[in-house]
Amino acid sequence: MAQQDLVTLTIEGVEVSVPKGTMIIEAAKQAGIIIPHYCYHPGLPIAGVCRMCLVEVEGAPKLAIACATDVADGLIVNVFNDDALAARRSVLEFLLINHPLDCPICDQAGECELQDYVFQEGRSGTRYEDYAKRFSPVEDFGGDVLYVPNRCILCTRCVRFMDDVAQEDVLNVSERGDRAFIGIHPDKDLGHEWAGNVVDLCPVGSLISKDFLHKARVWELDKTPSVCTGCSQGCNINVDTRENVVVRLRPRVNLEVNRYFMCDTGRLHYRWMNRGDRIEAPLVSQGGDLTATDWDHALAEAAQLVRGSGGRAIALVSANASNEALFLTKQLLADLEVTAAFRVPRVEGEVPLVGVPGLALREERAANAAGAEALGYKEDFDGALRAANGASLVVVVDDDLNGVSEEQLSGAANLIYLGTLLPDVARRASVVLPIANVVEEDGTLTNRDRRVQRYLQAKAAPGMARPAWWVLSELVRELGRGEVCASAAEVFAALADAEEPFHGMSYDNLGFAGRAMAAAGMSV
């Protein structure tokens, strides 16, 4: 950015330079200061209605709201002086006059901005003898959203999101003064695909999720950065777990992918992560039946099948498998003539978030089709399935074989199946190797814009299940085709070294925002 486009000002004694047109509330972040606020959100139009972000600008006749005041050269801003603190304390006092003290039963407790700022800057007690509202009626707004009007502080984030970002005029501010509340259109509800974001945007416990209602206290949750696998958009998310169970998915900020939002399909796409009918031990076929065994035996059996494949194999892989797993599958079958394919489940019609260009619930309901293509796999699952009839070896990696009949695989002499569940069609496998799902391992996925993004392990895998990269790495070693990788990061380093589209990438420089890959890679 050109030097003349920068504005220099001082905030709490710290000099910062920011682009012209920046608001004081954003400039303060460059000084390491979060100015208290309710109505302001960087992903929404500015409203300036809550008055919580009042600060002193030296030389100005009165306090200014930081969310709607432009920076200017030479400004001196005081955030924590007596006048600013007293003003914000008064705002908090007014908000608490009618706010019910039902924190013990409120799902927002522990991540409530009203709690946080009262603790940080508020009064130690009220000057009122009683609270006007001690009950919390609940209204069903449709979709996954409930509204508790007595908790509402009328920040209007939800209204602005639906009006300006989703561009569905469903919500409004009804009535005036102390009778005001968030109203909903009589003929509409929050069944909109992106409406669940109003729960994340609400700074208090007024808009709450039906799905998460009374499931857990937020301080009991472990939060892990991950990537949504609901479609090819690759929205960044946090996986919230409690006692090794996924209880909630929420959007994580990535300005290049999903900004601050995620769709409701992705938000509620987590129950399969907690399934109890998982494969928990390696299985080997003996006398036509699958028998549990240890990893050493199962890997040795699988390696023997690869050696005896006659030089040709079919690989059926999932478009949700990690880049690391897909790369090691190539390494495993590197000396063979391979037909390698994946499939992408599709649903007719995209659902865009109109106010955010490039963000939509995509038709392609797979997270890593672009990664599979970059690694040379073809989207010709049906063709590969036909070729499997009569093949000496078929290797299935992380595909549930949905829609595949036993007859379609009956012609294959041997089947090695790496998966989380055991469908009927996979019961004829020679070797079954249990693997972790996406929240039980580290790895990377490549979204539709060819952006490679990391996800982290959020919970433990059941029984003896292991990450796919570990299983495949052990198989590669068993065949004498490489050394065992001790971590997903080591696998990705080998991938980046071997595959041109990934050159120069590493877990370190991917960070948690990801990087766009280079040109398309070579075929398997």
In this structure, the dihedral spanned by the alpha carbons of residues 79, 77, 200 and 94, taken in order and rounded to 10 degrees, is 50
With a cut of 50, which residues of the chain have pLDDT below it?
1, 520-524
Q: Rounded to whole angstroms, how far apart are CA atoms 56 and 337?
A: 72
pLDDT score for 524:
41
Domain range for 384: 283-516
Paired sense of beta strands 283-286 and 431-434, if any: antiparallel
pLDDT tens profile 357-404: 999 999 999 999 999 999 999 999 999 999 998 899 999 999 989 999
Q: What is the CATH number of the domain that holds 69?
A: 3.10.20.740
Residue type, 289: D
Residue 484 and residue 465 in contact, taking contact as beta carbons nearer than 8 Å: no
**From the DSSP assignment, how many helices (H) and strands (E) are in the chain?**
14, 25
Identity of residue 184? I
Extended strands (E) in 278-429: 283-286, 289-292, 312-318, 337-343, 351-352, 360-361, 394-397, 415-419
Name the strand (E) or helix (H) holding 297: helix 295-307
Q: In the chain, how many domains are there?
A: 2
What pLDDT was estimated at residue 1?
Answer: 44
**pLDDT for 132:** 60
142, part of any domain: no
> Which pLDDT value is given to residue 321?
98
CB 238 within 8 A of CB 252: yes
Q: Residue 67: name the closest of 84, 81, 50 by CA.
A: 50
Measured distance CA(412)–CA(417) in Å, rounded = 13
Assess contact for 440 and 465: CB atoms under 8 A.
yes
Has residue 111 been placed in a domain?
no
Q: What is the pLDDT of residue 422?
A: 96
How far apart are alpha carbons 416 and 173 in whole angstroms? 59
What is the b/e burial string over 465-480, where b = at least 16 CB atoms within 10 angstroms of the residue's CB? Answer: bbbbbbbbbbbbebbe
Q: Give the SS3 label for residue 123.
A: coil
CATH, residue 442: 3.40.50.740
Q: CB neighbours of 478 closer than 8 A, spacing ≥ 6?
A: 299, 300, 302, 303
pLDDT at 251: 98
52 in a structural domain: yes
The answer to the question of residue 63 being in a domain is yes
Domain boundary among the residues 91, 116, 141 is at: 91
**Domain presence at residue 249:** no
Q: Can you tell me whether residue 379 is helix, strand or coil?
A: coil
- Among 91, 113, 142, where does a domain finish? 91
Residue 481: the pLDDT is 81
Domain boundary among 42, 63, 91: 91
Which residue's structure tokens are 């009918």? 277
Flag whether 451 is in a domain. yes
Tokens of 360: 């939509």
- Structural domain includes residue 230: no
CA gap 25, 2 in Å, rounded: 22
Cα–Cα distance between 426 and 401 in angstroms, integer? 8
In a domain, 114, yes or no: no
